[in-house]
Amino acid sequence: MNIVFAGTPEFACESLKALITAGYTPSLVLTQPDRPAGRGKKLSASPVKELAQKHDIPVWQPVTLRDAAIVADLAAHKPDLLIVAAYGLFLPQVVLDIPHLGCVNVHASLLPRWRGASPIQAAILAGDRETGISLMQMEAGLDTGPVLAAESLPIGSNETAARLHDRLAALGGELLVKTLPAICEGNCEPLPQDPDQVTSAGKIRSQDAQIDWLQPAEISARKVRAYNPAPGAWFSYGDERIKVWSAVALDSDKRLPGTVIAAGKDGIDVACSEGALRMTELQRPGRRRVSGAELAAQLPLSNNRLH
């Protein structure tokens, strides 16, 4: 079985590790080009590239898969199957048509719920009680292909996107290896997605992570969990953008939204349209993360109104 794997971030590494461990080592790995990273902006390899090189797997890093020369080279490689996990580049139909067993995507949601770039964050923001992994037969549309296999897991009441990401990545590798024999033998029956159940999860912008005190506290608490670790939920205080890494929703008497109700040893409590948000871990620009009590000692927050 000639397998080509395409992926870029840590999420994809779990699927690649699972393939290697199970004896399905890809003959080729596709990943995005090295990017500038860190304070020095030095070129940095993707996690998938580093893992592939560790196992002596050839790596290609095309800027696009629309290039005719890249397509020809990939066709000449004669893959039986292309497995994709968080690759980040668009696969045109000419590429999807190359492997005779098609292209399978490891997607971090229970499709058709949360098609798109940010399914993990979207599930937490929506208050979903469960999510999961779908193995999808890829086609030209965005996450529109039929589902070959799926497995669910519960979302913890205080779970961050970072923790849920790690659990889903591990589940993706497990489900991929478990389902691969049936895929290779042609015994995996694709299940079309129900168009009436489709929801979308687009790319995340920095402004999406701003806390809106006019929303209920529970919504803001979800936002803090959904955008941890990136881009980090935040609010403005003067000319500072303060990030919030940990917070819980509380019942509270009705106050003007944005009013700091309390700032002390238990954290910083801010009135919302419903209830209050207690922030317990925060970070000022260019500084380390601190507890709510530490930030309360640094800034005169009590009885102020945040915007």
The pLDDT tens digits of the residues spanning 142-187 come to 999 999 999 999 999 999 999 999 999 999 999 999 999 999 998 8
- Decide if 307 is inside a domain: no
Mark whether 44 and 190 lie in a shared domain.
Answer: yes
Where among 175, 201, 227 does a domain terminate?
201
Where among 201, 228, 244 does a domain terminate?
201
Mark whether 237 and 92 lie in a shared domain.
Answer: no
200 sits in which H/E element: strand 200-201
Looking up residue 215, the CATH number of its domain turns out to be: 3.10.25.10
CA 303 to chain centroid, in Å, comes to: 37
pLDDT the model gives residue 235: 97
pLDDT the model gives residue 40: 73
Contacts of 21 (CB under 8 A, 6+ apart): 177
Mark whether 90 and 231 lie in a shared domain.
Answer: no
Among positive and negative, which fits the CA dihedral 4, 89, 32, 163?
negative
- Torsion angle of C-alpha atoms 160, 165, 166, 169, degrees rounded to 10: 160
Least Cα distance to 48 among 75, 86, 105 occurs for 86
CA 113 to chain centroid, in Å, comes to: 14
Domain that holds residue 89: 3-201
- Decide if 186 is inside a domain: yes
SS (H, E, C) 104-137: EEEECCCCCCCEECCHHHHHHHCCCCEEEEEEEE
Instruction: Say what the pTM is.
Output: 0.94
- Whether the bond between 231 and the residue before it is cis, its omega within 30 degrees of 0, is yes
Per-residue pLDDT tens for 184-219?
A: 998 899 999 999 999 999 999 999 999 999 999 999
Mark whether 238 and 194 lie in a shared domain.
Answer: no
- Asked if residue 81 lies in contact with residue 3, where contact means CB atoms within 8 angstroms, the answer is yes
Task: Indicate the pairing of strand 200-201 with strand 260-264.
Answer: unpaired
Q: Tell me the average pLDDT across 215-239.
A: 97
The pLDDT > 90 percentage for the chain reads: 91
A 10 A CB-CB count for 264 gives 13
Quickly list H helices, the chain.
10-21, 47-54, 68-77, 93-96, 119-125, 161-185, 217-226, 292-298
Least Cα distance to 177 among 210, 152, 157, 149 occurs for 149
- Torsion angle of C-alpha atoms 187, 192, 197, 201, degrees rounded to 10: 80
A 10 A CB-CB count for 194 gives 10
Mark whether 243 and 289 lie in a shared domain.
Answer: yes
Instruction: Give the count of domains, the chain.
Output: 2
Mark whether 283 and 244 lie in a shared domain.
Answer: yes
Tokens 């530490």 belong to 294
- Decide if 304 is inside a domain: no
Per-residue pLDDT tens for 98-114?
A: 999 999 999 999 999 99
Mark whether 42 and 181 lie in a shared domain.
Answer: yes
Whole-angstrom distance, CA of residue 260 vs CA of residue 124: 26
Looking up residue 108, the CATH number of its domain turns out to be: 3.40.50.170
Mark whether 236 and 252 lie in a shared domain.
Answer: yes
Q: How far apart are the two ends of the chain, measured CA to CA in Å?
A: 58
**Tokens, residue 111:** 């499709």
Mark whether 214 and 279 lie in a shared domain.
Answer: yes
Whole-angstrom distance, CA of residue 237 vs CA of residue 66: 46
pLDDT the model gives residue 37: 79
